[in-house]
Structure 1
Amino acid sequence: MTILNKMTLVLASTISMSSMAADFSFDRPGTGFGTGITPVGHLAWEQGLPSANYTETKIDGAQAKTVTLNTDMLFRTGLTSSMELQLGFEGAGWTQTKYKGEKTHDSGLGDVSIGLKQAIDLDDDKLSMAILARALIATGNDGFSEEDDIYSIGSSLAYQYSDLLNTGITMNYAVQDGHWAVTAIPMLGYQIAGKLSGFSEFVYRKAESQDYEYGLGSGLIYALNDRAQLDASIGVDLNGDDRSYHAGFGVAFLF
């Protein structure tokens, strides 16, 4: 039995535990994922406009600066009232590297992914949970791909303290080329004013035979209406000597 088949079996076994899906919510922005399920017969389209990464690192004593842009996208559709199918694509990417006074450019297409998200009914008005099994298929061009497929299973738990404040945590376990990694992402969401809300998150990751990795992220979300939103986010990696920053704009629609 393959790793993907095992994860699918685990996910399918939770169906009987859930009698209804959590209220719908978009999964972007942020590193984790929400507990909401796309309603049956509807399509959620979540689009980066674009996402950006900036890194500074030293190579042979000289500093290299790299900017990467990619138009990542995620499509979600409901299969049942408590399960959805996700199809992702990292989209078109572009990089520019400055090193020793020279600039180099590259462009290409990123990887694709497929996932199943299952809501778990906890019989609690304020507490919700979902499980996501996902396979990232390394089909992208060189420099824009993970190179090896990644299989992961994650859980997301959210608690709605009030209309103004909610919190949650995403736990993700992934395997790539036989090597495991675990990521924990506690998150705090807050209502700012009217249709404007924000979030802050801490990202912890430990990969097999690798050092610990830490990061902070924060962003704003503006709800155009019940079926559309705009978002902006920024983040920073805190580990190692290299400087690494992340930012992005996005839009999401529910059709």
Structure 2
Amino acid sequence: MLSHTMKTLQTFTFMLAATATASTFAADFSFDRPGTGFGTGITPVGKLAWEQGLPSVSYSEATVDGEKERITTLNGDMLLRTGLAKDLELQLGWQGPAWYQKKRAGVKTEKNGLGDVSIGLKKAINLNDDSLSMAVLAQAVIATGNDEFTAHDDIYSLGSTVAYDYSDLLETSITMIYEVQNSNWAVTAVPTLGYKFGGKWSGFSEFVYRKAESQDYEYGLGTGVIYALNDRTQFDASVGVQLNGNDRNYTGGFGISYLF
């Protein structure tokens, strides 16, 4: 067990070192929610970004032993970001307080508890292009949550996002995330289209592809809208659906983000 823990810590240390040795460029600040991927913006030094789900929702419907099973989960996920340097930020996350309800064969089960915590470093990368930006994120999810709201084993990941601004109204990006959990690897790809409606409104659409070791491929679509109240505050609403398999899986929720 100790040997496995040391190997995992060494893997995460390598990820952090990889981000620290890259050349840098700080893109304009932007909030990372909503959406599956993350943006290329870095929180300014001395500032704190608070990104809060109000709440996030997931719903699944499946047939188990001939009986219909419906599961609904609500959680108040939170992410804090603060700038350590012009091109580097620290992220602290928490899946927050959560509520779970399962309905099956006329029996309803409800539980509540706390989710996992995470820590990460995001670093901007210099691509020497005013329209092109990139950032990498090394992150560890620590499985400290209650049974129904935890990943059970720690997850260590290294992700990257490359974004291209076509114009003031249109942006494309792709996020790639490689993760390891209990010696099992997984990869997630998230191409995203971001657009502005004009004024304070903007939106996004994304396609989520994920392949975990010894698991089937997973596909999903997500979309959302964002209202920027001012330079420091935004509100968001988003929905998503999983496309593969016979089960029905939906996600969504509302959120608020504020820069102190």
Q: Secondary structure at the match of 1:143?
A: helix
* Distance (whole Å) between structure 1 residues aligned to residue 13 and residue 240 of structure 2: 34
Amino acid at match of 1:211: D
Partner of 1:198: 203
2:167 to 146, 153, 162: 162
1:250 maps to: 255
Aligned to 1:176: 181
| 1:211 aligns to 2:219 (yes or no) | no
Alignment of structure 1 residues 60-79 onto 2, 5 Å: 60-79=65-84
Letter aligned with residue 19 of structure 2: L
Aligned equivalent of 2:19: 11
Quick one: percent identity of the two aligned structures? 65
Residues 54-96 of structure 1: CA deviation (Å, up to 9, x unaligned) = 0001110001001100000000000000000000000000011
Question: Following the alignment from structure 2 to structure 1, what is the Cα–Cα distance between the partners of residues 168 and 146?
Answer: 44
Equivalent-residue separation in structure 2 for 1:204 and 1:8 (angstroms): 25
Q: Distance in 1 between matches of 2:43 and 2:226?
A: 19
Q: Superposed, which structure 2 residues align to 1:98-137 within 5 Å?
A: 98-137=103-142
Question: Alpha carbon RMSD of aligned pairs, Å?
Answer: 0.7
Taking the aligned partners of 2:219 and 2:189, their CA distance within structure 1 comes to 10
Unaligned stretches of 5+ in structure 2? 1-6
- In the alignment, which residue of structure 2 is the partner of 1:239? 244
Q: How many equivalent pairs are there?
A: 252
**Which 5+ residue runs of structure 1 have no aligned equivalent?**
none
Runs of 4+ in 1 over 2 A off after TM superposition: none
- Deviation digits for residues 108-155 of structure 1, max 9, x if unmatched? 000000000000011111000000000000000111000000000000
1:230 is the counterpart of 2:238: no
Deviation at 1:98, TM superposition (A): 0.8
* SS in structure 1 at match of 2:85: coil
CA–CA distance in structure 2, aligned partners of residues 118 and 198 of structure 1? 25
- Distance in 2, matches of 1:75 and 1:250, equals 14
